[in-house]
A = this chain, B = another copy of it.
């Protein structure tokens, strides 16, 4: 379900997306890929080449912390969770996202509703 428009619209949203998912619970990267796809009914298809570097970057920035856990089958999984700084960032980003949303609505008229 990867269409050409994904990219232009997705740009900049990946950060908020990760922060929001991790606000709910700790998750591993592969799980995030599936969750994003499932919840958007296939509209989003987060790419691995986008997600992994983003996670590493956010970990370096002190927003996330990672912990390996064994799984019943297959390779161990690397679970990410929010640090205190990450939780503050999540809150802040969400507020910003809302403000951008309403601004877009104002500019687009009913088109953005």
Residues of A within 8 A of B (CB): 5, 7-13, 15-17, 20-21, 24, 35-36, 39-41, 43-44, 93-94, 96-104, 106-109, 111-112
Q: Report how far A11 CA is from B96 CA in the complex, Å.
A: 14
On whether A39 and B97 interact (CB within 8 A), knowing A8-B12, A11-B11, A12-B11, the answer reads no
**A99 neighbours in B (Cβ, 8 Å):** 43
Q: With A and B bound together, what is the CA distance between A94 and B107 in angstroms?
A: 12
Count the copies: 2
Q: Are A112 and B107 in contact (CB under 8 A)?
A: no
Closest CB in chain B relative to A76 CB, distance in Å: 26
Q: Are A40 and B111 in contact (CB under 8 A)?
A: no
